[in-house]
Amino acid sequence: MHTSDAATALATPQAPVRVDGDDDTGRRVIATRDIAPGEVLADLREAHRTPVKSRFTVQIGPDAHIDGLWQFTFLNHSCDPSVHVDTTAMEIRALRAIAAGEELGYFYPSTEWMMAEPFDCHCGTPACIGRVTGAKELPPQVLGRYVVNRHIAEMKASA
């Protein structure tokens, strides 16, 4: 695991993203400029911790979650993710090049063991997993296609 030193200079309010949409149509996180692969977009080390999960929390351990992730609170699920929420380094970084104007997405089961509110994904990508319930119910060979966090790998190994 690498350090988060690079993230220190990239306070989240300066992240190259904006939030689009509203409560009716749903909100999306959009890149405001081209983003390079591996670029750190948010430092989560100071994020608020809570034992209670919701649709707006990210799981960082078997019984720990964080919320209030600034713009990234509205990061949607993607079965073909462009960013990784790394709960060991405590940062969000690009998995690949992202073009200005593109919506960012991360693979929810990479952090969530059991979603607070499961839903049906309609992303339409060839990789689509359909019902998104969390890592617990995903076949290991499907989960294995993705970058997942340590707590998820450990919970899956002992499930």
Tell me which residues touch Zn ion (CB under 5 A).
79, 121, 123, 128
What is the smallest separation between the CB atom of 135 and Zn ion, expressed in angstroms?
A: 15
Q: Which of residues 68 and 118 has its CB atom nearest to Zn ion in the complex?
A: 118
Q: CB-hemisphere CA count at 13 Å for 97?
A: 2
What is the smallest separation between the CB atom of 36 and Zn ion, expressed in angstroms?
A: 25
What is the smallest separation between the CB atom of 153 and Zn ion, expressed in angstroms?
A: 21
What is the smallest separation between the CB atom of 128 and Zn ion, expressed in angstroms?
A: 3
Contacts of 89 (CB under 8 A, 6+ apart): 1, 2, 3, 4
Q: Which of residues 40 and 79 has its CB atom nearest to Zn ion in the complex?
A: 79
Q: Which of residues 19 and 121 has its CB atom nearest to Zn ion in the complex?
A: 121
Q: Which of residues 34 and 117 has its CB atom nearest to Zn ion in the complex?
A: 117
Give dist(CA 109, CA 18) in Å, integer: 24
39-141-59 Cα angle (round to 5): 50
Give dist(CA 107, CA 28) in Å, integer: 14
Closest CA to 92 of 58, 118, 120: 58
